[in-house]
């Protein structure tokens, strides 16, 4: 019954052109990762790169010192680290206050954000700050990340040192703001610093910190790999998940 219509449709120039365009697009998508190269008169097929490996950063690039982008990136790292320490340290201190049976009469199981809340504070802040600073400084927000990227020749020595100084100053200022606003609680709970739980020695705590730092740096390296950047690289999401898992793992042992 539909044969006459199909026959007349197939003879339409518009239909033929659209069909050819469709098959051409399909063929292009199927073969975009295949590259053919003639070698000694023969043909050889291999997977084509849809990315380009960036050249390694120079060890010392004095020209960077004359660029405003370097100092803008350092300022971004300073502000990001300040905000990160301010929010996370306040969260930890708040958790300690709410779970302290002396200063809080509420059942500790019903009050406070809990360890999971602390993890979300860390992960959420990393997610937001990496999203805000990734296009400016790369969103390191951690000297360990900067040092790892320097070893991997992703940043120069000058940029790495300037980032680390900015991050340390930002961390000091962030904790300073917490102490200025909550001096009593800050002094009472050791500034929200990690402490070893009963049954764990210093070696276990050090091992937990090393493994947690390795997971973070490994995640950053994987998420910023050019092979992934050319496809589906979601750096803030990867950092979010990594930063959520890290505090849970470390707080259980520290």
Residue 39 has what pLDDT?
A: 43
Is 224 within a domain?
A: yes
For the segment 239-250, the average pLDDT, to the nearest whole number, is 48
Cβ pair 93, 121 in contact under 8 A: no
Lowest mean pLDDT among 61-75, 178-192, 232-246: 232-246
- Name the percent of the chain in helix, strand, coil, to the closest 5: 65, 5, 30
Residue 248 has what pLDDT?
A: 44
Measure the CA–CA gap between 133 and 140, rounded to whole angstroms: 8
Do 184 and 243 lie in one domain? The reply is: yes
Q: What is the mean pLDDT of the chain?
A: 74
Tell me the residue range of the domain where 106 lies.
62-253
Do 17 and 92 lie in one domain? The reply is: no
Residue 111 has what pLDDT?
A: 62
Residue 71 has what pLDDT?
A: 95
Is 38 within a domain?
A: yes
Tokens, residue 131: 């999203």
Query: Hey, is 73 helix, strand or coil?
Result: helix
State the Rg of the chain over Cα: 27
Do 11 and 89 lie in one domain? The reply is: no
Report pLDDT digits (tens) over 78-134: 999 999 999 999 998 888 888 777 776 666 565 667 778 888 888 888 888 988 888
Q: Which helix (H) or strand (E) element contains residue 67?
A: none
Report pLDDT digits (tens) over 18-59: 545 544 554 454 444 444 343 444 444 445 555 667 778 888
Do 80 and 165 lie in one domain? The reply is: yes
Do 90 and 149 lie in one domain? The reply is: yes
The CATH number assigned to the domain holding 111 equals 1.20.1080.10
Residue 83 has what pLDDT?
A: 95
Do 226 and 170 lie in one domain? The reply is: yes
For the segment 227-231, the average pLDDT, to the nearest whole number, is 57
Residue 51 has what pLDDT?
A: 60
Cβ pair 134, 234 in contact under 8 A: no
Query: What is the CB neighbour count within 10 angstroms for residue 241?
Result: 15
Q: How many structural domains compose the chain?
A: 2
158 or 30: which leads in pLDDT: 158
Is 234 within a domain?
A: yes
Is 146 within a domain?
A: yes
């Amino acid at each position: 019954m539909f044969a006459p219509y199909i026959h007349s449709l197939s003879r339409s120039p518009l239909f033929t052109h659209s069909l050819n365009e469709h098959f051409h697009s399909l063929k292009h998508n199927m073969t975009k990762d295949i590259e053919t190269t003639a070698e000694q008169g023969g043909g050889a097929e291999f997977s084509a790169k849809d990315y380009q490996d960036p050249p390694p950063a120079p060890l010392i690039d004095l020209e960077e010192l004359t660029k405003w982008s370097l100092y803008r990136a350092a300022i971004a790292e300073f502000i990001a680290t300040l905000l990160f320490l301010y929010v996370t340290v306040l969260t930890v201190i708040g958790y300690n206050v709410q779970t302290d049976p002396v200063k809080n009469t509420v059942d500790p199981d019903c009050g406070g954000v809990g360890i999971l809340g602390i993890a979300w504070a860390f992960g959420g802040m990393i997610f937001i700050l990496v999203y805000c600073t990734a296009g400016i400084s790369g969103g390191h927000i951690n000297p360990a990340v900067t040092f790892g990227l320097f070893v991997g020749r992703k940043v120069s020595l000058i940029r790495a040192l300037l980032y680390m100084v900015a991050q340390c100053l930002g961390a000091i200022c962030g904790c300073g703001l917490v102490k200025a606003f909550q001096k009593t609680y800050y002094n009472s709970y050791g500034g929200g610093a990690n402490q070893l739980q009963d049954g764990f020695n210093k070696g276990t705590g050090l091992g937990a910190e090393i493994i947690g730092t390795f997971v973070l740096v490994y995640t950053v390296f994987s998420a910023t790999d050019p092979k992934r950047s050319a496809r589906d690289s979601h750096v803030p999401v990867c950092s979010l998940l990594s930063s959520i898992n890290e505090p849970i793992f470390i707080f259980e042992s520290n």
